[in-house]
Amino acid sequence: MESRKVLSCLCYFSIFFAGFLFPLVVFFASGDEETKMHAKKSLLSHLIPIIPAILLVSSIVFDITSNQDQISVLTIMSIVVLVIIWVGVIIWNIVKGVKVLRTE
C-alpha cells in the first residue's frame, strides 16, 4: 500500500484520535499534492463543528447570565444541531477515508 494513500486516509480517520492536529501536520510536512489536498479537506471537515459549538457556548452563557429557571429553546436547538453535524462529519470522514484506501 502506498504511503500517500495511508497518510490521506489517516487524515480523515484522525477525527477519532488527533482532531485537526494530524491533518495540519500532514499538510505542512507532505510534499505530495494529492496528500495535501486530502489533508486540507479533512482539516476543514474537522473544523466545521466549531461554529455550532460557539453558538452552543454562547447560548449557555446567555442562559446562565439571564437567571432563568428553564433552558432556552436556542440552547436545546444548538445541542441538537451540534450532534447532527458531528454525526454527519464523522460519517463523511469515514466514507472519504475508505474511498481513499479503495482508489487505485
Least confident range from 12-16, 36-40, 60-64: namely: 60-64
Local confidence band at 67 (pLDDT 50, 70, 90 cut-offs): low
In this prediction, residues 61-82 reach a mean pLDDT of 77
What's 70's DSSP letter?
S
Mean model confidence pLDDT for the chain: 86
Q: How far apart are CA 49 and CA 13, in angstroms?
A: 16
In this prediction, residues 78-98 reach a mean pLDDT of 91
- pLDDT given at position 42: 92
Domain residue extents for the chain: 3-102
Helix (H) / strand (E) containing 32: none
Residue 68, pLDDT > 80, answer: no
Q: How far apart are CA 20 and CA 43, in angstroms?
A: 5
Residue 15, pLDDT > 70, answer: yes
In this prediction, residues 46-53 reach a mean pLDDT of 84
